[in-house]
Amino acid sequence: MCSLAEPSICMNMSSPRGVRITIIEAKKGRAVARIASEPGIHDIRMTRDGRWGFVLNGEKNLIELLDGAASRIVQRGIVEGGPEQVSFTDTIAYITQYRSDQVLMATLATVGEKGKPLSLADFPGGDHAPGKIARSGLASGIAGAPGESAVVVANPADGEIYYYKEGMAAPMGRFSNYSHQPAAVLAFDRSMREGKPGAFATRTRLARGGVYDVALYIDAPRVVQCFELAVAPNEDLERERKFGRVAIQYIDRPQLVPVDRDTPLRFRIIDVKSKEERRGLGDVAALVVQAPGLWHARQRAVAREDGTYQLDVKPPSPGVYYVYIESPTLELKLSNPQYLVFDAR
């Protein structure tokens, strides 16, 4: 198990009999220290500044604090509920447990006192232990709330996401996850910030153009204001949303095709973003269907030297026919809306 942190160290655990944590200098790929530890370690995480490493041992109900600068274990703490995950803000380490709903907190400014047990505070992180339901350790179950001294806590056993503000005795609120189990959480900062005196701004991404209602809320002083925001559509994105990544331009669009005789149908395939032709593809094919599903035939389109593609359709009987184009290379499916309709007599 490895954890990269400044100044570029990697911790590797091995267990022939005991357990050793090997600290590796990543740039040179050489071991700089080996630290004896207890069997049962399942996770090691470094603080954001790379100074402290929290070593979680679920079997021994133990947390060990690794000093990244001195390359040694300097503190230990017993966690009766079994440490599950550890997540960090700039000032606090948050530890969830396998068998307890209490989320533990270690203040980073006061950790590292050698010879003293690791000091941990707690708050209830839900009605059930977050670690009651197994989840991957690759993604964090706690994330810092943007712009505040607060975190959001994903509790899969409760099916809820809790909002906790530092210094409070319990979470201030919760977010429903609509009967799903929130295994991890990531917070995006969309808050407005003051750039120039009296001028506030933020950045966001909107799915499509149109007129939006924007609600502005300020907690103190209490201000609620709504206004309209007109967003111009992105023509390239709208075209891609309508047609997909490529557009089919039919050169031959016959309204009437003779029965039982080959009729050529030519078309071009244009990349929506680059506006360039997609030439010479060997997997462009067509499905020709007589409505309402009385007859159908599949055939390969022939790539021509001028960059176009050609089909020779031969309707067997009078009726209305539909031509659907596909190409796996272009991720163009038969269900795309760019079909051709003709009448055969």
Which sequence spans correspond to the domains of the chain?
A: 9-176, 205-235, 244-344
pLDDT tier at 105, thresholds 50, 70, 90? very high
**Residue 12: what pLDDT?**
53
Q: What is the mean pLDDT of residues 37-59?
A: 91
Buried/exposed code over 320-338 (b: 16+ C-beta within 10 A; e: otherwise): ebebbbbbeebebeeebeb
pLDDT above 80 (res 173) = yes
**Residue 177: what pLDDT?**
82
Q: What is the mean pLDDT of residues 143-160?
A: 90
Q: Does domain 244-344 have CATH number 2.60.40.10?
A: yes
pLDDT digits (tens, 9 = 90+) for 205-221: 887 888 999 888 887 78
* Phi and psi angles of residue 6, each rounded to the nearest 5 degrees, phi first: -75, 140
Percent of residues, the chain, with pLDDT higher than 90:
54
Q: What is the mean pLDDT of residues 279-295?
A: 93
**Residue 6: what pLDDT?**
43
pLDDT above 80 (res 190) = no
More confident residue, 258 or 147: 258
pLDDT tier at 193, thresholds 50, 70, 90? confident
**Sheet of strand 256-257, all strands in order from the earlier edge strand to the far edge:** 256-257, 340-344, 319-326, 285-290, 295-300
**Residue 313: what pLDDT?**
94
Place of tokens 């005789």: 261
Q: Which CATH number fits domain 9-176: 3.30.360.10, 3.40.50.1100, 2.40.320.10, 2.130.10.10?
A: 2.130.10.10
